[in-house]
Amino acid sequence: MRFVKARDYDDMSRKAANIISAQVIVKPNCVLGLATGSTPIGAYKCLTHWYEKGDLDFSQVSSVNLDEYRGLTHDNPQSYYYFMNDNLFSHVNIDIAKTHVPDGTIEDAEEACRQYDETIKATGGVDLQLLGLGHNGHIGFNEPDSVFAKGTHCVNLAQSTIDANARFFASREEVPTQAYTMGIQTIMQAKKILVVVNGEGKADIVEKAFFGPVTPQVPASILQLHQDVTIVGDEAAFSKIASRI
Ligand code: F6R
């Protein structure tokens, strides 16, 4: 695991965007695994800026997103489909037909997950997977569990995740309680993984996930077994591991 220290959120965002942009430059037809949440927004802004300057071309890039709330339609501003269009896709020249987010509108969970696994397979595999880190160690919406889930599956969101995400909704009652998420095995199959973390609220889980035992109770801990993981974090998020990196 490679730890890249950033001064603050902006510095973390630029460093993460640099890694993503290097991937796009080196392999223009790459497959990017993308994440939502608040952490990657700054990196998406950098990528947009560099595209506008003419430094980046997304025309051949494909993408697969990690997760989507079950039951939210594409036009719902809280859906991850909407988020990706709003924060990245509508600002760059990516071919929207080559972008993929699990379809939260498919009621039949098994069918939704089966279709998404087919979609990921058809891309030929993820070159670079971007991940945020949940306070309980979740990656995608793989919540703490007794086993590591393999493929795309439907999850009941942990109460702490619902609480953390309530900030994006008008009320806590509106936060969906289920989501479709890429599985841990699929995430681990990405050739490269890039984790972004910021803020002191993530300091404890950063230590547990990357220096604690590998356990499905802390899903991100599995990343310790991946051969090419880069973690870009600000000083606050790395405060508990500073002397070890
Ligand atoms: C988002 C996702 C989640 C978030 C995590 C951290 O697609 O899969 O695992 O990355 O909840 O969220 P933020 O960045 O809002 O702290």
Give the Å distance between the CA of 39 and the centre of ligand 1: 7
pTM above 0.75, yes or no: yes
Radius of gyration of the chain (CA): 17
Task: Using the atom order of ligand 1, give the atom closest to the CA of residue 131.
Answer: 10
Q: Could you read off the pLDDT of 46-61 as tens digits, one per residue?
A: 999 999 999 999 999 9
Cβ of 106 closer than 6 Å to ligand 1, yes or no, is no
The Cβ-side half-sphere exposure at 80, using a 13 Å CA radius, reads 29
pLDDT for position 164: 87
Q: Could you read off the pLDDT of 24-36 as tens digits, one per residue?
A: 999 999 999 999 9
Any catalytic annotation for residue 136?
Answer: yes
pLDDT for position 45: 98
Catalytic residue among 143, 153, 198, 234: 143
Give the Å distance between the CA of 38 and the centre of ligand 1: 7
* Residue of 36, 181, 206 to test ligand 1 pocket, by largest number of atoms within 8 Å of CB: 36
- Tell me which residues of the chain have a pLDDT lower than 70: none
Ligand 1: residue whose CA is nearest its atom 12: 37
Any catalytic annotation for residue 226?
Answer: no
Hey, what amino acid is at 33?
G
Q: How many CB atoms neighbour CB 89 within 10 A?
A: 22
pLDDT for position 178: 96
Task: Using the atom order of ligand 1, give the atom closest to the CA of residue 142.
Answer: 9
Phi, psi of 92 (to 5 degrees): -125, 175
Cβ of 36 closer than 6 Å to ligand 1, yes or no, is yes
Give the Å distance between the CA of 43 and the centre of ligand 1: 14
- Asked if 120 contacts 186 with a C-beta cutoff of 8 angstroms, the reply is yes
Smallest CA-to-CA distance from 176 within 225, 127, 229, 104 is with: 104
Cβ of 42 closer than 6 Å to ligand 1, yes or no, is no
The alpha helices in the chain, defined as continuous H runs, are 9-26, 41-52, 80-87, 109-123, 159-165, 184-188, 203-211
pLDDT for position 165: 87
pLDDT for position 159: 92
Ligand 1: residue whose CA is nearest its atom 4: 132
Give the Å distance between the CA of 26 and the centre of ligand 1: 27
Any catalytic annotation for residue 67?
Answer: yes
Cβ of 67 closer than 6 Å to ligand 1, yes or no, is yes
Catalytic residue among 138, 165, 198, 234: 138
Give the Å distance between the CA of 133 and the centre of ligand 1: 6
pLDDT for position 122: 97
Average pLDDT, the chain: 97
